Structure 1
Amino acid sequence: MAVDRECILKCCQTNDLSCYDPYDIWMTDLGIQVKSLFNKNKYLGILPAAALTLFDHFLNNNTRLGYKRREYPTARAMAALTLLNLYKIEHKESYIQVAKLHLDWLLENTCKGYAGLCWGLGFKWAAGEGLDYNENTPFSTHTPYALEAIHTYVQITKDTSYIRHIKSIFDFYENDIKVLYENDTEMATSYGPSKDRLVTNSVSYTMYAYAIFLGYFPDKEDAIKEKIGKLYNFIQKRQRSDGSWLYSPDDEDSFIDCFHSCFVLKNIDKTHQIVPLREAERTTNMGYDYLKLHFYASKDGLFKRFSLSNKPSIIKYDLYDNAEFLHLAVLLRDLDFAKKLAASIDLKFCKGDAIYSVIDMFNFRKNKNTLRWAKMPYLYALSTFHLFQE
C-alpha cells in the first residue's frame, strides 16, 4: 500500500490543516446565491449551477482562483483520531502530543452562543429550500467527531481534565438539538440547533453521541439508555426491506448514497459495542449487503456515489464513499475485502504525494489533497485498518 503510516503521519502531525475544499465554489457569495436559487427552483437554478460546477471542475480546479484555504473541525478531529489509532499500535508519545494540539484547536474553535461545546462546517451552507445555515451553526453530524476524539484521548491518557469538555458537549445535545418526532418507542432529532430537517444519518450520530455520554453520567444512565433505544428504533424502523435508508425518510425527493449510508451503519455498530441494540447485527448486515450489491463496481474495485439520485452529477467515483466503506468494512471485520478496496483506492485516487477527492466521468482525478472531503476520512479509515490488523 503506497499510503503507509509515514504518509499518514506526514499529514496528521502538523498544526496547520488549512486546505482547499471540493465545496469551495459554493462558499463564494455567487455560489451561495446560485445554490439557494437551485434549492428554491431546480428549473431556474440548474443552468447557473451547472455553469459554476463546470467552471470549478474543469477551469479552476488546480488554480483555485477566488478560493481560500480553510481549517475544518472534522479534519482536526479525524487527524486526532488517526494519531490516537496509531498510538495504540506504536505507543509513541509524540502522537499523543500532536493529537492534543488538534483537540485544543477544536476547543478554541467551537461554535459560539450555544449551551455547550459544538462544531459545524465553519462556512455558510445553503442546505435546502429556506434552509441556509451560517458559518457559526453547529451540527449533530459534525460534533460527534470532536466528541469521539476527546473521549478516546481521555481513555488513553486518563487525563480527567478533558472530561469537562465531554460534559459540555452533552449540554449542547440536551439543550440545542431538538426533538422532531417522538412517541413511546421512537425518537428523531434535528440536524442543527433548530427544528430544521429529519435526516437519517444525523439521528444515528446523535444516538452514538449519547452512547459515549453514557460512561460520564452514571446518574443519568437509565434516561440516556432510553434515549439511545428510541433513536435506534427510529433508525431501524426506517430501514427499507432491501436494507437501505433514504437520506431523509420523509422527503419524496430524497436519495440513497454510499457514504451517508455508511455513517448510519458505522454509528449503529459503534453504539452496539457500548450498548447492546436489538437485532443490531441483522440491521447492519442488511445494510452492508445492500451497499455491496448496489454500489460496488467490481470492474474498477470502487464504490459509486448513488443507488438513488435526485440530481445529475459528473462524478464517477468519490473518495468519501470509498473511505467510509473501507472504514465500515474494517469495523465489521470484513478485512479481506477491506484490503482489496484499500488497494483499489490507492491505485485510482492516489498519485505521488497527492490524494484526490473525486474521479469524474472522463476518469480525471480532481480536488487534490482536500482534507475535509475526503483525504482525512481516508487516512482515518486506513489507521483503523492498521489497528485492526495488529
Structure 2
Amino acid sequence: MTPALSAAIDTNAIPEANYSPTGEVLGGVRRFISWLDRYGETSWDFQTFYASDLCRNIKQLYYRQPLLGTMAVSPIIFCEAFLPSARSLFWKRQRFPIADAHYAMGFAFLSRHLNSDEHYQRARHFLQVLEETRCAGHDRYCWGYPFNWGTLRGTIWQGTPLITTVPYVYEAFREVHVIDNDARWREIMRSIAEHGVEDYHDFNTSELASSCSYSPFPEQSVGVINANAYRAFMLTQAAIDFSDDRYSKVASRNLHFVLESQNADGSWHYANDGTRHFVDHFHTCFVMKALAKIEALTGDVECTRAIERGVDFYVRNLFDEHGVPKPFAKPPRLIVYRRELYDYAECINLGMLLRGRFEKLDRLVDGVVNQVLTIWQRPNGSFRSRQLLFGWDNVPMHRWAQAQLFRSLSLLLLKSGQQEDLSGVRT
C-alpha cells in the first residue's frame, strides 16, 4: 500500500474530482475488462460464507436464538472481518444472474459509446448465458440466486425467482434489443414481463397501494421497499414496450406503496415489516433509481416530489463530511466494515439518472467516481470489495459489486458521450 493511499484511507483526504469521461474512466473500464477476461465470469460472493447447509443453519440459529447463535456465528464473522480470502474454504465460485445482467448492460453501453461490435458481441454472450441459467421448472423466464439463502423469514432455496433480480435481466435484454432489434430478445422480455405480473402476490396496503412478495412464495417476505420499486419500474416499462395496461395497473399499486412508505425525513426503511427498519445506502439508491426511471417514462409528479425529498435525505445522511459514501444512515447493529463497493456503484448509477438536477448530488457523484478510480481500483484492474475495520477485502465478487460498478462506469461514459454529441464538442 502506497503512503498516498494509506493517507487517503486513514484521513479520508480524498483527491479532488478531476477526471475525463473519455480518459480516466475509459482507462479504468478497459483495465477492468482485461481483468475480467483473465479472472473469468464466476466468483465467490458476499453470501459465500453462509451458502453451505452448515453455515446457513448457524445463521438461522442466530435469528432464532441470538445469544447462542452469536457464539456459533462468531468464527464466520471473524473470517469476514479479518480473513476475507477464507471465503474459498466455505463455498465454490459460481455464476450469478444479477451480475451477468449487469455485465450485459455494461457491454451494451460500451458498444453504443464506442460503436464497438466486440463489446456488442460480449453483451450478447451474457444474454445467452442468462437464457441458459434461468430458473428451472418455470414456464416463464425468471432468475434468482444459485445458492440457498438463509434469511430472517427462512430459507429461499436455490433457483427461486426473485423480483430483485428479474427486473435487471429484463433491462439487460432490453438494452441489447435497442442495439440489434433481435426478435428473440423481445420474446424473452415479454415472458419476463408475464412472470413479473402473474407470479408474485400482492397485498393491499391502502386504497391505492399494494405490496408485492419478494418471490412467488408470499410467506418469504412482503413489504420490502426496493422489491416493490423494482417491480413497479419493470412493469411500467413493459406496459410501454408491449402496450399492455395490465402491467401498468399492477405497477401503479406497487409504486404507490413505495411512495406511501417514504418517511417524513425523505428516507425509506428497508422494509415495512416492523423489524427491518434500517436505512442503508445502496437500498436507498435502488428505490430512487426506480422512481427516476418511472418519472422519465411517465412524468409522474409524485415520483418527482419523492425523488426531491429522497435526494435531500440521501446527500445529508449517507455521505460523511468528506463526501465518502456511508453504508448506513445509522448502523442497525455492529458492522465489520467501513465502506462498501456496492454503495459506490449504486451512487454512480443513481447520479447518472439524475445528472444535472441536484448540484450537491452531482458534486458528490464526481467525487465518488474519483475515489473509485484512485482508491478502489487495484493494479490488476478489479475493484476492492470492502474497506474493513483494518485493511481491505480484496476478494473480487461479481455480484458484490464488480458487475454493478462496471455497469455504472459504462453508463457514465455513454451519458457523457451523449451530452458531448448534443453540445457538438468531444473531449
Work out whether the TM-score is over 0.5: yes
Q: Is the 8 A contact 2:162 2:214 kept in 1?
A: yes
**Does 1:352 pair with 2:379?**
yes
SS in 2 for 1:188: strand
Q: Distance in 1 between matches of 2:224 and 2:205?
A: 15
Distance across 1 between alignment mates of 2:366 and 2:84? 34
AA aligned opposite 1:85: F
Distance 1:111 1:291, change over 3 A: same
CA distance in 2, matches of 1:289, 1:245: 12
1:86 paired to 2:110: yes
**Aligned in 2, Cα 1:26/1:63: closer, same or farther, shift over 3 Å?**
closer
Alignment partners' CA distance in 2, 1:225 and 1:39:
37
Relative contact order (alpha carbons < 8 A, sep ≥ 6): 1 or 2 greater? 2
Q: Is the 8 A contact 1:86 1:95 kept in 2?
A: yes
Cα displacement (A) at 1:366: 0.3
Letter in 2 for 1:379: F
After TM superposition, the score normalised by the length of structure 2 is 0.85
**Structure 2 CA distance for aligned equivalents of residues 15 and 137 of structure 1:** 28
Query: Deviation of residue 64 (structure 1)?
Result: 2.3
Measured after TM superposition, the shift of residue 314 of structure 1 is 1.2
1:25 aligns with 49
- Give the C-alpha shift of residue 8 in structure 1: 3.9
Contact between 1:78 and 1:380, CA under 8 Å: does it hold in 2?
yes
Q: Is residue 239–residue 245 contact of structure 1 (8 Å, CA) maintained in 2?
A: yes
How has the CA–CA distance of structure 1 residues 389 and 358 changed in structure 2, closer, same or farther, with 3 Å as cutoff? same
Higher helix share: 2
Q: Distance in 2 between matches of 1:15 and 1:101?
A: 17
Are 2:398 and 1:376 aligned?
Answer: no
Structure 1: how far apart are the matches of 2:320 and 2:342? Answer: 15
Match of 2:147 among 123, 142, 145: 123
Compare 65-74 and 236-245 and name the one that shifted more: 65-74
Q: Distance in 2 between matches of 1:7 and 1:346?
A: 11
Which is worse superposed, 188-197 or 47-56? 47-56
Q: Tell me which of 201, 204, 214 is aligned to 2:239.
A: 214
Counterpart secondary structure, 1:307: coil
Task: Say if 2:256 is the partner of 1:229.
Answer: no
Question: Which has the higher mean CA deviation after the structures are superposed, 204-213 or 334-343?
Answer: 334-343
Matched, 1:202 2:227: yes
Q: CA deviation at 1:171?
A: 2.2
Call closer, same or farther: CA 1:256–1:209 in 2, change over 3 Å: same
Question: Aligned pair in 2 of structure 1 residues 357, 290: CA closer, same or farther (>3 Å)?
Answer: same
Aligned position for 1:241: 264
Alignment correspondent of 2:364: 337
Deviations 1:3-25 (A, max 9, x none): 62312433566894101222211
Matches of 2:71 and 2:315 in 1, distance apart?
Answer: 34
Q: Aligned partners of 1:24, 1:94: CA distance in 2, in Å? A: 32
Of 334, 359, 365, which residue of structure 2 is paired with 1:312?
A: 334
Change (3 A) 1:212 1:108: same
Q: Which residue of 2 aligns with 1:95?
A: 119
Rounded Cα–Cα distance in structure 2 between residues aligned with 1:156 and 1:181: 39
User: Quick check: 1:315–1:359 contact (8 Å CA) kept in 2?
Assistant: yes
Identity of aligned residues (%): 23
Q: Is 2:336–2:389's contact at 8 Å kept on the other side of the alignment?
A: yes
| Runs of 4 or more consecutive aligned structure 1 residues displaced over 6 Å after TM superposition | none
1:65 aligns with 2:106: no
SS of residue matched to 1:193: coil
SS state at 2:42 partner: coil
> What is the aligned length?
385
